Amino acid sequence: MDWLFGPYELSMISLIILTLPIHFFLTRDEPEKRVKLNEILSEIKKHRYWWHISLYAIMFAFKVFIDHHNEPIKSRVGGFTHWIYSIEGDWTSNVQDFFLNDILTNLLSVHYLFMYLFMIWFSPIYYILSRDHEMADKAALNYFVIYLLSVPLYLFFNVEVTSSYLEGMDALLYHDSFTLSFFTSNDPMDNAIPSLHIGLPISLLIINRLHCKERKIEIKNWRHREFDIFVIINVGIYLFSIQYLGIHWVIDILPGILIAFFTSYFVHIFQPLLRSVISDGVHVLIPNKRQLTTAVITIILCLNSIIFGIIDGPGTNDDNPNFRVGYGDINLETIEVHSLSYPVAVEIINVGENNLEILLIKLSEVENYADKGSFEWDKFVEYGDLMVLNANKTINTEVPANDLFDVYLILIRLPIEDCVDCSNNTKFGEVRIISEYIDDELLLSAILSSIPSFYIIGYVIGSINQNRHKN
C-alpha cells in the first residue's frame, strides 16, 4: 500500500497539533504563567533559545553521521546478542505470546512511534511555554547528552532486537508495510543496548528531582508536577511495550538507566555554567583538576577497552549467530549502499544444524507484503535472489552498487517443506551475516566519536568525588 504520510511525517504532524492542547491541560492551574502565542519570538530572544534549536539540528546531523558508521564497522566489531540471550533467554517472547492481540499491538505501536519523538520535542517546548528557561535548557541538553553517551554502545556493542533472535518472536512494529521502510532506513536494529525509550525519560525525571532538591522544593509541590507524572506514566508504558513489540531485551533497560544517571547529573551541573558563559566568559566551562583527571583516565581506559577488547574481539567469532529463526519466522538484515564504485560483499554463514532459505531482495519489493510482524513470502519471493544455505555452510554474495538510495534486505527463513508439524516443531535456524563495506576505515572516526561520551562519564565521576570530599 502507498501511504500518503510515513511514520515520521505522521508523528511530526501529530506532535505539532497536540503540543498546545497538552500544554494547556498540564498548566491549567497556572494559566498566568503561560507564554502567549504572540510572545513566543520575544521569549526566544529574551532567553536565547536559539541555541536549543541549533542543538537539535546538530543532533539530527550527528545521528545521521553515526548511523553511517554502524554497518561498515560491524565486520570488525561483531555482535553480542548471544551473550544477552545466554543471560535472559526467552522471557520477552513469553510476554508477547501471553498478551498478543491486534488492538494492543496497534495502541502500543502508535505510542512507541509517536511518544518518543513527542517527548524529545515537547520537553523543552513545555518549559519554554511555561516560562521556565532553566528547565528548558536542561530538557534540551538531556536529549543531546544522553545520545552522546549512547554512541559507544551503539557502535561497539551491537545487540540485535529480540524479534531478530528469539524464534517465534514477531517484530510487530518493524515488520509492517507502514513502518518497514522507515525503520530499515533510520533505525539500526542492532542498537538494542541501551534503550533510550527508557533512558531519556528517566534522565528527565532525575533532572526534575535534582532541580527540586537544589531549590528545597518537594517534588509533589513543584509547579511542573503534572508534567513529571506525565513522563512517569509513559515510562511505565514503555517498560511493557518495548518487550511486547519485539524490540528490547529486559537487560537493555539497565544500561538505559545507567546512562540516564550520568546524563542527568552532567546536565544538572553543566546548565548553570553554560548560562554564565555570556557574563563570565568561556573559561567557566573548563573542568577543574579533579574533573579533568578523571575524564582523561576514563577516556584512556575506555579507548583501550575498545581497541584491545572489542575490535576483532569476541563479538567477531564466526561461530556465534546474530540471527535466529523458528518455523513461520522471517528475519531480516538491512544492507545499505555506501559507494557507487564498490558493491557490498556479504558472507552468510549457517552456524546451525538446519538448512535455511536466504533471499536477497530490494526493500521496495517487500514492504507492501508485511503486516504486524509477518511477511507474505509467496508474494515477493520471485523478485529476489533465492538461495538455499545448508547446515554449517557459507554463501558469499554481493549487493550491487546501482543507487546510493537503494536499500536491500537479506531475508532468512526455515524451508517450510522441512516442517512436519509446525505447531509443535522446535527446530530453529541460526545464521551469521557479515557485510564488508569499502569504507570500513570509518572505524577511526567511530572511535573518535566515542570520546565525548567517555569525557562526560569521567567528568561526572570527578564531580561526584569532589562533592563527596567537600561533605
User: Looking at residue 351, what is its pLDDT?
Assistant: 93
pLDDT-based confidence at residue 4 (cuts at 50, 70, 90): low
Average pLDDT over residues 312-317: 93
pLDDT tens digits, one per residue of 453-465: 999 999 999 998 8
pLDDT tens digits, one per residue of 191-226: 899 999 999 999 999 999 999 999 999 999 999 999
| Closest residue by Cα to residue 460 from 247, 272, 257, 291 | 291
User: Looking at residue 329, what is its pLDDT?
Assistant: 86
User: Looking at residue 471, what is its pLDDT?
Assistant: 57
Instruction: Give CA–CA dist 199/432, Å, rounded.
Output: 30
pLDDT tens digits, one per residue of 336-351: 888 888 888 999 999 9
pLDDT-based confidence at residue 52 (cuts at 50, 70, 90): confident
User: Looking at residue 150, what is its pLDDT?
Assistant: 97
User: Looking at the predicted structure, is the pLDDT value of residue 46 above 60?
Assistant: yes
User: Looking at the predicted structure, is the pLDDT value of residue 422 above 80?
Assistant: no
Q: Which of 188-202, 252-266, 295-309, 391-405 has the lowest mean pLDDT?
A: 391-405
User: Looking at the predicted structure, is the pLDDT value of residue 14 above 90?
Assistant: no
Report the SS3 class of residue 316. helix
pLDDT-based confidence at residue 1 (cuts at 50, 70, 90): very low
User: Looking at residue 417, what is its pLDDT?
Assistant: 64
User: Looking at residue 469, what is its pLDDT?
Assistant: 63
User: Looking at the predicted structure, is the pLDDT value of residue 424 above 70?
Assistant: no
Location of C-alpha cell 517527548:
119
Instruction: Give CA–CA dist 312/64, Å, rounded.
Output: 25
Average pLDDT over residues 48-62: 89
Report the SS3 class of residue 108. helix
User: Looking at residue 45, what is its pLDDT?
Assistant: 87
Average pLDDT over residues 172-186: 77
User: Looking at the predicted structure, is the pLDDT value of residue 185 above 90?
Assistant: no
User: Looking at the predicted structure, is the pLDDT value of residue 85 above 90?
Assistant: yes
User: Looking at the predicted structure, is the pLDDT value of residue 155 above 50?
Assistant: yes
User: Looking at residue 465, what is its pLDDT?
Assistant: 81
Report percent pLDDT > 70 for the chain. 95
pTM of the model: 0.91
Tell me how many degrees the CA angle 92-93-97 measures, rounded to the nearest 5: 120
Q: How many CB atoms lie within 10 A of CB 118?
A: 21
Burial class (CB in 10 A: 0-12, 13-18, 19+), 38: exposed
344 φ, ψ (degrees, to nearest 5): -90, 120
Selected residue with higher pLDDT from 352 and 178: 352
Angstrom distances, CA of residue 220 to CA of 96, 119, 131, 150, 380 = 35, 21, 20, 31, 56
